């Protein structure tokens, strides 16, 4: 019996020694802290964990007394052998950035890292700067549509990394706004709207690349593709000379193909006549009507941050000219085009 007890004791101490080896030598330190950042910059800090082979991730608790907080409470985790890197993203908000003191709890106990102060540098201003600082930024897609008689609405889908995309704006446009911001760790994408004169053929601006430490140009062409049909909006109802020309043309085609069918007795011409009539019907089918509540805000752009151009002074029924997310494009009095929210549509 004593021999068996001695055997189990040895096994127990060997196991405890293994656990101590696995869990007793965990070390944490900052592997990356920027020496300086710029105003409104999104930047990473990285914590290195050395020696842990335990699968459960530690708990990170930043000092709540400091106003600066990470953008997300969950870090980006990268494992490399017995080293693990935990990256948090912050955004500079004051004259100096204070990274709060950090408490790290894991199976071995509690570790701590001190607070750090990072100075903020200022960028040299530029008129074409869009306000975004990023490690990389690209225009993924662009779409242009007619906004009113003299302006176009441009929508850009923007992808970026380590970017303050929510601060994006342009000075040399009539109106601009950002919507649908989606951020996952370093990657962020959003939709950017702007109203520009119809005579403008390109959109060109700069962002500041935080890796290259320089301004980078981005540009895209403004290409309107049959916006009257695609948006089903006739922005100037009084100016219908071109619409009449299209209408009479398709009526003429239909009559011409009907005469050919009666003369040649060939069903091919009958099919062409039917196609002409279908196109004519699609172009001139009645638009959907919506009822707008009195006191509804009419936005210049279909964004929550857009400027309100007018507040409706009465309840009205008008054509629905287009729809984007929870915004509806309508024409108000005096051919004023704008966007109302779904909540401003009359309730039954």
In this structure, what CATH number is given to the domain that contains residue 338?
2.30.30
39, pLDDT greater than 60: yes
**pLDDT confidence of 308, banded at 50, 70, 90?**
confident
Pairing of strands 27-32, 175-184: unpaired
State the angle between helix axes of 267-284 and 241-264 in degrees (0 to 180), rounded to the nearest 10. Answer: 160
Q: Residue 42: inside a domain, yes or no?
A: yes
Q: What is the mean pLDDT of the chain?
A: 82
3, pLDDT greater than 80: no
Residues 193 and 154 in one domain: yes
Report the domain count for the chain. Answer: 4
Residues 113 and 147 in one domain: no
pLDDT of residue 75: 94
| Extended beta strands in 200-245, E state | 202-209, 214-221
Final residue before a domain boundary, out of 87, 121, 155? 121
Contact 220, 130 (CB under 8 A): no
Final residue before a domain boundary, out of 96, 121, 146? 121
Query: Could you tell me the CA-to-CA distances from 259 to 246, 255, 270 in Å, in that order?
Result: 20, 6, 9
Q: Residue 68: inside a domain, yes or no?
A: yes
Range of the domain at 257: 237-277
244, pLDDT greater than 80: no
Residues 135 and 214 in one domain: yes
Q: Residue 8: inside a domain, yes or no?
A: no
Residues 199 and 173 in one domain: yes
Q: Residue 34: inside a domain, yes or no?
A: yes
**DSSP-based three-state secondary structure for 104:** strand
Sheet strands side by side (includes 327-331): 289-292, 316-324, 327-331, 337-341, 297-299, 308-311
Task: Identify the weakest region by mean pLDDT among 25-29, 79-83, 240-244.
Answer: 240-244
Residues 106 and 160 in one domain: no
| Best-predicted range by mean pLDDT (12-16, 232-236, 297-301, 331-335) | 297-301
Final residue before a domain boundary, out of 67, 96, 121? 121
pLDDT of residue 235: 37
Q: Residue 1: inside a domain, yes or no?
A: no
Task: Identify the weakest region by mean pLDDT among 135-139, 236-240, 251-255, 318-322.
Answer: 236-240
238, pLDDT greater than 50: no
Residues 46 and 101 in one domain: yes
Half-sphere exposure of 247 (CA within 13 A, CB side): 9
Q: Residue 6: inside a domain, yes or no?
A: no
Q: Residue 14: inside a domain, yes or no?
A: no
314, pLDDT greater than 90: no
52, pLDDT greater than 90: no
Residues 150 and 220 in one domain: yes
Residue pLDDT, tens place only, 190-234: 999 999 998 999 999 999 999 999 999 999 998 876 443 333 333
The whole model's pTM is what? 0.69
| Percent of the residues in the chain that have a pLDDT greater than 90, as a whole number | 37
Q: Residue 171: inside a domain, yes or no?
A: yes
Residue pLDDT, tens place only, 181-196: 999 999 999 999 999 9
């Amino acid at each position: 019996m004593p021999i068996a007890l001695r055997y189990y004791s040895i096994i127990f101490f060997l196991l405890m020694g293994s656990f101590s080896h696995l869990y007793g030598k965990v070390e944490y330190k900052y592997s990356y802290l920027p020496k300086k950042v710029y105003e409104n910059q999104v930047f990473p800090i990285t914590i290195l964990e050395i020696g842990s082979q335990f699968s459960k991730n530690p708990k990170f608790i930043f000092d709540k007394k400091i106003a600066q907080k990470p953008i997300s409470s969950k870090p980006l985790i990268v494992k490399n052998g017995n080293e693990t890197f935990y990256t948090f993203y912050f955004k500079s908000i004051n004259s100096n950035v204070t990274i709060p003191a950090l408490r790290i709890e894991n199976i071995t106990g509690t570790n701590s890292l001190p607070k750090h102060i990072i100075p903020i540098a200022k960028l040299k201003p530029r008129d074409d700067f869009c306000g975004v600082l990023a490690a990389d930024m690209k225009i993924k897609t662009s779409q242009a549509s007619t906004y009113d008689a003299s302006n176009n609405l441009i929508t850009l889908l923007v992808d970026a990394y380590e970017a303050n995309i929510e601060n994006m704006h342009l000075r040399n446009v009539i109106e601009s706004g950002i919507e649908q911001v989606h951020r996952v760790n370093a990657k962020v994408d959003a939709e950017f709207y702007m109203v520009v004169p119809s005579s403008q053929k390109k959109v060109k601006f700069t962002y500041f690349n935080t890796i290259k430490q320089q301004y980078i140009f981005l540009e895209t062409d403004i290409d309107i593709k049959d916006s009257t049909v695609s948006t089903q909006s006739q922005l100037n109802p009084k100016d219908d000379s071109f619409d009449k020309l299209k209408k009479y043309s398709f009526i003429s085609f239909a009559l011409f193909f009907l005469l050919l069918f009666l003369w040649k007795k060939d069903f091919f011409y009958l099919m062409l006549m039917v196609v002409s009539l279908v196109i004519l019907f699609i172009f001139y089918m009645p638009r959907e009507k919506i009822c707008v509540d009195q006191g509804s805000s009419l936005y210049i752009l279909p964004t929550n941050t857009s400027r309100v151009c007018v507040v409706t002074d009465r309840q009205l029924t008008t054509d629905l000219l287009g729809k984007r997310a929870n915004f509806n494009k309508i024409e108000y009095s005096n051919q004023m085009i704008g966007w109302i929210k779904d909540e401003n549509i009359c309730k039954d």
